[in-house]
Amino acid sequence: MPKNISIDQFLIWVYQSQKAADVIDRGVGLYPAEMTADGLTPIAVSGDGCYQCEQNGLLGTRVDYSGRGTAKLHPDAEYTHDLVLSRSVDHIMRGIVIEYGKSGREPEWQTADAGFVPVLGKGGKLKYIKDENRVKRGCAVQPVFTNDHRDHRRWQYMTWWDALENFRLILNERGMLKDHVLEPPSIKREPWL
């Protein structure tokens, strides 16, 4: 029975739980001939050497020293990462999808309007503006952030959201996922409204 899941949670599952990028991009679990066929350079390493221990740590695996690791991926995770690396996905969407899947962090966006705060001098005292006679005329202020900065952050957020949604549409259009039905992102496109 397919499981309904939002695209953002699905990508976190693909890249954090399944570790699809680490398994596929490094050829983990492939024999040397398979690595060569995939264009990867086989490296002769021992099963319990430093390199292998590092790989086990990256994959979050437990070492039992009972033969070659298979690094089995769920078919949906494998297909998703292969699609991300294909020509069907542009480089901007690819970067957004992989970065979000690995980090699980959405871009920041500002909720408040631009404002000003007082400038503090040494010892946390207010810094004053003085005229040519050294008479205090007012408190120095600085912008917290500008409206342009806020608008740019919101544009970045919407670009990120659109990339996740467009990737979801590409995945659903192909119809190759076996155990997952992808839903739109669980967060709003414009949460500041």
Q: Profile the chain (193 residues) by mean pLDDT over runs of 10 residues.
A: 93 92 70 68 62 73 54 86 92 95 90 79 89 91 83 94 97 93 94 88
129 and 185 in a single domain? The answer is no
Burial of 10 (C-beta count, 10 Å sphere; 0-12/13-18/19+): buried
193 and 169 in a single domain? The answer is yes
d(CA 174, CA 145): 43
Which DSSP state fits 7? H
124 and 138 in a single domain? The answer is yes
The answer as to whether 33 is a domain residue is no
The answer as to whether 100 is a domain residue is yes
162 and 186 in a single domain? The answer is yes
105 and 161 in a single domain? The answer is yes
Six-digit token string for 107? 């871009």
104 and 163 in a single domain? The answer is yes
Residue 131: domain span: 111-144
pLDDT of residue 69: 45
120 and 89 in a single domain? The answer is no
pLDDT of residue 37: 74
177 and 115 in a single domain? The answer is no
Query: What does DSSP say about strands 3-6 and 180-183: parallel, antiparallel, or unpaired?
Result: parallel
The answer as to whether 178 is a domain residue is yes
The answer as to whether 77 is a domain residue is no
127 and 181 in a single domain? The answer is no
pLDDT of residue 145: 78
The answer as to whether 90 is a domain residue is yes
Question: For 113, how many CA atoms within 13 A lie in the half-sphere containing its CB?
Answer: 0
pLDDT of residue 132: 92
The answer as to whether 70 is a domain residue is no
Which DSSP state fits 62? P
pLDDT of residue 26: 66
**Contact predicate 145/108, CB 8 Å:** no
Number of domains in the chain: 2
The answer as to whether 123 is a domain residue is yes
173 and 97 in a single domain? The answer is yes
The answer as to whether 44 is a domain residue is no
132 and 193 in a single domain? The answer is no
103 and 160 in a single domain? The answer is yes
3-state DSSP assignment of residue 185: coil
